[in-house]
Structure 1
Amino acid sequence: MADVTDNGGRKYDPDADHSFPDEKLNEILPELLSDPEVRTYLKAQNVNAVTRKGYNDHGEKHIEIVRNRALRLYDLLKEGGVEFNGAAQQGLEEADEAVIVALAATLHDIGHIVHRDEHAYYSIPLAADLLDRFLPRFYETPEVVRMKAEVLHAILCHHTEEDPLTTEAGVIRVSDALDMERGRSRIPYEKGGRGINTLSSQAIDSVALKPGDSKPVLVEIEMVNAAGVYQVDNLLKAKLHKSLLEDYIRIIAVNTKADDQLVERIEL
């Protein structure tokens, strides 16, 4: 696996060495990212969330961050010997696991074009239609159906009310919560507000994914004040719960501001 400790795995590099077969992902991902319908969805899905409701970003930047974090998390888990069951139980290839992760990460929030509330459920029919058009370029009909099933399951289960049944879906669920740096909380908050959601969203300085010692993955979070605990405890902890990845991810959050020692360190 490539050494990306300098950026915490912020950007997927198709030319790097990975702990999974990446040829199929590297073939499909550029086509996905250049697809006009996909690109329009990613722009349009911010209208309800940001323009109309005044919430934080759920558009192109969020999707880019989640997809890169998801592929990094998947890579670290594979390096640590974690078995993935989604593609395997459908009779698909190991190389399809990363494609499922990338597709679900990219499409998980498109339901926002219908409404912010319950958006995960609206994402399902929209993504299904898109996948019916997109997947046949790379798969035969039986594989299209099975790939679609796994991608839709992962999309649905980024919503905390739904429990993932696959490790691929667990990756999407956790990665969605990892977009929390410098005001990029996944807890909706109103811009300019002074509530705990707003204040805590400003308290996370950086998030990095690294190989762990006791567990395959270490998530290191640097906070600039104790309010960041709310983000870690109320969002990330909830997303990790029932993700099927609890035994493989260690989370450490450290308060780096010397004059604010209400909380120095928390660990999940």
Structure 2
Amino acid sequence: MAKSGSVDVEDRQYDPDDDHEFPTERLNVVLPEILSDPEITTYLQAQNVNAVTRKGYNDHGTKHIEIVRNRALRLYELLKTSNIEFNGATEQGLSGADEPVIIALAATLHDVGHVVHRDKHPYYSIPLAADILDRFLPQFDFYDIEQQVRMKAEILHAILCHHTAEDPLTTEAGIIRVADALDMERGRSRIPYKKGGRGIDTLSSQAIDRVSLQSGSDCPVLVKIEMINAAGVYQVDNLLKAKLRDSGLQEYVRIVAVNTRGGDQLVEQIEL
């Protein structure tokens, strides 16, 4: 993440030792426990079996979760830098320090439903994540029973809304929906495709070379997508733009896709 005063610097990994534009005291206690929890770690590995081993789709496991969590926290920081209001924790009577914890846990657990089935996996994620949270949250002395319930409510809401017809009702949930789509570099598309396929989903996902999150000149967040050919436009339009729509973040995020290969004149730059 960017250090205070240099938020335009794109950095993919959340660093608890950096200065941040949001309260980190609770996140920095919870995050190491997330990363070392054996049940969570096993779920992240197991959820790839149905998606990758059995259906031949792209990665939905540990690496995907790491990318989504880091990009969700990056989105959160850029929005906080621009003083965008968050309503999830606040409306539950929780503190601002709980917002990044909600985001980190929702990002980590949003795909656990894949252990049941890829199809309709967000709905399967809800009871599984609820059980994990019932065990996980009580270890922190800053969450009493009431706060545990309210934290769980916000985390589950964000999980449900990441990939379903249900629109996010909180800014925190909107971040999870958009961050999920930002794992799209070099074939890591969130539009499932069969490995080795030659359809538009596969070809367009392979066209995305790099995704970076920066402070925008006229909006809080600039998502810059570098493509190696024009096929990447399909990926951006049908995945990222679709997820941004109705996320609640539309007015805060600008997407610019740039074709970095000069020989392809179909698309040089497109703003969405």
Gaps of at least 5 residues in structure 2 are none
Letter in 2 for 1:229: V
2:160 maps to which of 156, 166, 170: 156
Matched, 1:44 2:46: yes
2:236 maps to which of 232, 236, 252: 232
Correspondence for 1:74:
76
Gaps of at least 5 residues in structure 1 are none
Secondary structure at 2:257's aligned position in 1?
A: strand
Cα RMSD over matched residues? 0.9
Deviations 1:47-80 (A, max 9, x none): 0000000000000000000000000000000001
Matched, 1:212 2:198: no
In structure 2, how many angstroms separate the alpha carbons of the residues matched to 1:180 and 1:261? Answer: 23
2:248 maps to which of 241, 244, 251: 244
Correspondence for 1:15:
17
Q: 1:9, CA displacement in angstroms?
A: 2.8
Secondary structure at 1:92's aligned position in 2?
A: coil
Q: 1:108, CA displacement in angstroms?
A: 0.2
In structure 2, how many angstroms separate the alpha carbons of the residues matched to 1:87 and 1:261? Answer: 47
In structure 2, how many angstroms separate the alpha carbons of the residues matched to 1:186 and 1:13? Answer: 25
Q: 1:160, CA displacement in angstroms?
A: 3.8
Q: 1:150, CA displacement in angstroms?
A: 0.1
* Count, aligned residues: 267
- Note if contact 2:184-2:190 (Cα within 8 Å) is conserved in structure 1: yes
Letter in 1 for 2:114: H
1:167 maps to which of 164, 171, 176: 171
Letter in 1 for 2:206: Q
Correspondence for 1:135:
137
Secondary structure at 1:221's aligned position in 2?
A: strand
2:115 maps to which of 81, 92, 113: 113
Q: 1:4, CA displacement in angstroms?
A: 6.5
In structure 1, how many angstroms separate the alpha carbons of the residues matched to 2:81 and 2:196? Answer: 42
Q: 1:162, CA displacement in angstroms?
A: 1.5
Letter in 1 for 2:63: K
Q: 1:146, CA displacement in angstroms?
A: 0.1
When normalised by structure 2's length, the TM-score is 0.97
Runs of 4 or more, structure 1, over 4 Å off, are: none
Secondary structure at 2:102's aligned position in 1?
A: helix
Deviations 1:196-233 (A, max 9, x none): 00000100000000111100111110000000001100
Correspondence for 1:201:
205
In structure 2, how many angstroms separate the alpha carbons of the residues matched to 1:42 and 1:146? Answer: 24
In structure 2, how many angstroms separate the alpha carbons of the residues matched to 1:162 and 1:106? Answer: 20
Letter in 2 for 1:169: A
Q: 1:5, CA displacement in angstroms?
A: 5.2
Deviations 1:155-185 (A, max 9, x none): 0000141200000000000000000000000
Specify whether residues 201 and 63 from structure 1 end up closer, same or farther in structure 2 by C-alpha distance, changes over 3 A only. same
Secondary structure at 1:9's aligned position in 2?
A: coil
